Structure 1
Amino acid sequence: MDKRIATLTEAVADIPDGATVMIGGFGGSGAPIELMHALIDRFLATGSPKNLTIINNNAGNGHVGIAALIEQGLVSKMVCSFPRSADPRVFTERYLAGEIELELVPQGTLAERIRAGGAGIPAFYTPTSYGTDLAKGKPVAEFDGRPYVQERWLKADFALIKAETGDAHGNLTYRMAARNFSPIMAMAAAKTVVQVSQAVDAGGIDPEAVITPGIFVDAVVEVRDPQQEEALNRAEAHYPGAQ
């Protein structure tokens, strides 16, 4: 099966209102900017999708990427570790106005909840957050004399991620630290859409170099010379245009 998709528009066409969407990236590293902006284009043209729950490491910076998704009104809830990062004004304004919900998750716990979702593990225990507001209402158990908090898996309807190379079967490689959350998000989502800097035929990737096997990938769209969040923010870019 050839999983390569011709356009970004087609790649995000199936995401419905109310979907839970995991988005790869650690700040701008590995962030699928073009896929997110294609989702905004679709929303502006059709009014859908809206009321999205976004799972990411942070709540966006500047006026591009996740911040632009929030600013344009697509997002009703963020699940993240760092709602306040380099330039979080869009999320902060919406949150203080009561227009967006936040589920705060410690970073290691976030990664493990996503990994658990992909591995079929409904819950696990961690000492992180014990005794804090984040542990309120969660089961607590003691192991070897230490209290642990129960955390539930995280799964999603869709994952939007960025990779370096993808082949026709959806096998992926990543560029250094841009890998971050993407492999586990691909496992935890019902459908994974990937933008790659280079799309190749089947056999074009050394099997030993594959990080994410194609079984976890549903669509691959080529985006040569992808934009970088930090560069866009230094240029004071807004998406879809000046506000």
Structure 2
Amino acid sequence: MDINFRTGELVNQIADGSTIALVGFGGMGQCDKILQGIRDRFLETGHPRNLTIFHTAGQSDRYNGIEYIAEDGLITRVIGGHWGMAPKLQKLIKNNKVDCYCFPQGQLTHLLRTMANKLPGQISPIGLGTFIDPRINGGKFNERTKLQEDLVKIMKVDGEDFLFYQSIPFDYVFIRGTTIDENGNITTEEEPVKLELLSAAQAAKAFGGQVLAQVKYRAKRESLHPKDVVVPGYLVDGAVIAENVETEHRQLPNSVYNPVFSGDLRTPSNSLETLPLSARKVIGRRALMELNTRSVVNIGIGIPGDVIGSIAHEEQVRSNIILTLESGIIGGVPVGGNAFGIARNAEAIIDHEYLFDFYHGAGVDITYMGAAEIDQCGNVNVSQFGNKFVGCGGFIDITQPAKKVVFCTTFTGGGLEISMENGQISINREGTIKKFTYHVNQITFSGNNAIKNTKEVLYVTERAVFCLTPKGLVLKEIAPGVDLKRDILDQMNFEPIIDRELKTMDGRIFRQESMHTQTEKTLL
């Protein structure tokens, strides 16, 4: 078959009002050359305009990906899971320049498979009781969108409530690989994650859409190993070759290509740096104490993604647990920051949507997630707070079915400074933002649903640990050196229940040296 490799023609064919699906994760896997071409054409001609953009995970590292097309008039509607690292698009959402629907990342990956079967929508309980629920917000993420149609509805099955996520036909889907042969077959050998390329391509085809790919290399027909082909050529309509890999096809935000992150090179364990002692490390250390041997673990973005994997490696407990990242990573040492979603020395890298099958069906033994706001009912907000229109990502997909949820957050935000000495903590400067509030601005995690399903939920901070009970939040532990009234109760907008057997947090958490060196007791 003939594949169109003419970049200009591919970009120029996109009509006003088109619906386009993007595949990527954070700062990885985006078709930057194609997106740059669309932006350049729009700035020069005013077209294409009024595009609807669909995506599952976040699509930028603050500079690339969806940020290239975050122009007023170019996009009129966005349907996605996360915009935490897309400041230009966040601004369009916040200023009501675009319609914005925020849905759980895993549900969006599964909606692609549903659409590949040409079905009307995806049915799931994921999102009930949160801002996704149409009885609350229906996933409508700004004031402008409240006037628009519902894309998620309540459906009864055998008397139980489910959410029905409506199919959204695409005119185009943009996918990225490493190599394409003359027949259009695509491999992903230098990509750090597999993502949902095949599902997205098949979803587009089911509704008459086109599949445009961006790759680095062209290969002779029938020269690729058949098991390496991720997207078969009959699905591909056009392809763009990224000649300037530095600006158009970086493997990671901070690397053009590193074989460690594609699984082609393993690094020695002793090459990994030890994290300095900080509030984040203190939180991660206490959270890690909730592990059990052979637990299947999920780590979310933020404090968990930045510290949990590294601490597990430092404390030599990584071999006793199975770490996973929602991007499809199994094992290894996760990398945080703007490279969240990858790991050094991963054991397996599977398709994005298939790991969400496990999260939804079996549920991880324990998940570690961040928290921006926590209220007296145990609800947690990570999606929209202050001036930040972040989105939920995979947070709802993972926390709702997980057997145990541990939220990791500093007690206050905005300028918090602490110090540790002799196993005790001092609050040198209190944060200006109280995270424990009467009511969260948006429900991303439902405390009521967690109680209903008898889920174990903890809230771990650098100075206190709470658990969720039917009566509300119970303060279980307090850090050594902290004053209960001044440093905890006075920094909350509601009064928690104080456990009659209030404990002191383990002093090993607040010392520089490894926790294993303090006592024969291990973490697991």
Residues 27 and 59 in structure 2, CA contact (< 8 A), matched pair in contact too? no
When structure 1 is superposed on structure 2, of 114-123 and 59-68 the one drifting more is 59-68
The match for 1:230 is 253
Kindly indicate whether the alpha-carbon contact (under 8 Å) linking 2:154 and 2:161 is maintained by their aligned counterparts in 1: no
Q: Relative CO higher for 1 or 2, CA cutoff 8 Å, sep ≥ 6?
A: 1
Distance 2:236 2:123 in 1: 29
SS at match of 2:217: strand
Is the contact between residue 61 and residue 89 of structure 1 (CA under 8 Å) also seen in structure 2? no
Q: What's the offset of the Cα at 1:102?
A: 0.7
- 1:70 is displaced (CA, Å) by 0.8
Q: Please tell me the root mean square deviation across aligned C-alpha atoms, in Å.
A: 2.2
Q: How many aligned positions are there?
A: 229
Q: After the TM superposition, which segments of 4 or more aligned residues of structure 1 sit over 4 Å from their partners?
A: none
Superposition deviation, residue 146 in structure 1:
4.6
One-letter amino acid matched to 1:209: D
Q: Residues 212, 227 of structure 1: CA spacing in aligned structure 2 closer, same or farther, 3 A cutoff? A: closer
Counterpart residue identity of residue 178, structure 1: V
> Aligned pair 1:162/2:176, yes or no?
yes
Q: Distance in 1 between matches of 2:30 and 2:17?
A: 22
Q: 1:211 aligns with which of 208, 223, 230?
A: 230
Report the more deviating stretch, 205-214 or 66-75.
66-75
Verify the 8 A CA contact 1:4 1:168 in the aligned structure 2. Answer: no
Counting aligned pairs with the same residue, the percent is 26
Q: Deviations over 1:103-145 (max 9, x none)?
A: 11101100011121122122231010113332216132235x7
Contact 1:116 1:154 in 2 (8 A): no
Note the 1:68-107 alignment, pairs <5 A. Answer: 68-71=68-71, 73-83=73-83, 85-86=84-85, 88-107=86-105
Decide which structure has the larger Cα Rg and report it.
2
Which secondary structure does the structure 2 equivalent of 1:62 belong to?
coil
After TM superposition, the structure 1 = structure 2 runs for residues 53-202 of structure 1, keeping only pairs within 5 Å, are: 53-56=52-55, 57-58=57-58, 60-71=60-71, 73-83=73-83, 85-86=84-85, 88-136=86-134, 138-143=153-158, 146-175=160-189, 176-189=191-204, 190-202=209-221
**1:61, distance to aligned residue in structure 2 (A):** 4.2
CA contact (8 A) 2:211 2:236 kept: yes
Which range moved further: 150-159 or 176-185? Answer: 176-185
Measure how far apart 1:21 and its partner are. 0.4
- Are the aligned partners of 2:26 and 2:59 in contact in 1 as well (CA < 8 Å)? no
Gaps of 5+ in 1: 235-243
Mapped pair 1:28 → 2:50: no
The one-letter code sitting in structure 2 at the alignment partner of 1:38 is: G
Query: Offset of 1:152 from its aligned partner?
Result: 2.0
What is the TM-score when the length of structure 1 is the normalising length?
Answer: 0.85
User: SS state of the match for residue 156, structure 1?
Assistant: coil
**AA matched with 2:183:** H
User: Is the partner of 2:13 in helix, strand or coil?
Assistant: coil
Report the TM-score when normalising by structure 2: 0.41
SS in 2 for 1:35: helix
- The answer to whether the 8 A contact 1:183-1:211 is kept is yes
8 Å contact 2:174–2:213 — kept in the other structure? yes
Runs of 5+ unmatched residues, structure 2: 135-149, 256-337, 339-524
The corresponding residue for 2:39 is: 40
Q: Compute the displacement of 1:79 (Å).
A: 0.8
Aligned-partner residue type, residue 80 of structure 1: G
In 2, Cα distance between equivalents of 1:29 and 1:114: 19
Q: CA deviation at 1:147?
A: 2.8
Paired with 1:154 and 1:194, the residues of 2 have a C-alpha distance of: 20
Q: Encode CA deviations 1:156-207: one digit per residue, 9 max, x unaligned.
A: 1001111111112211111354321222211122101101111122212122
Quote how far apart the aligned CAs of 1:15 are.
Answer: 0.7
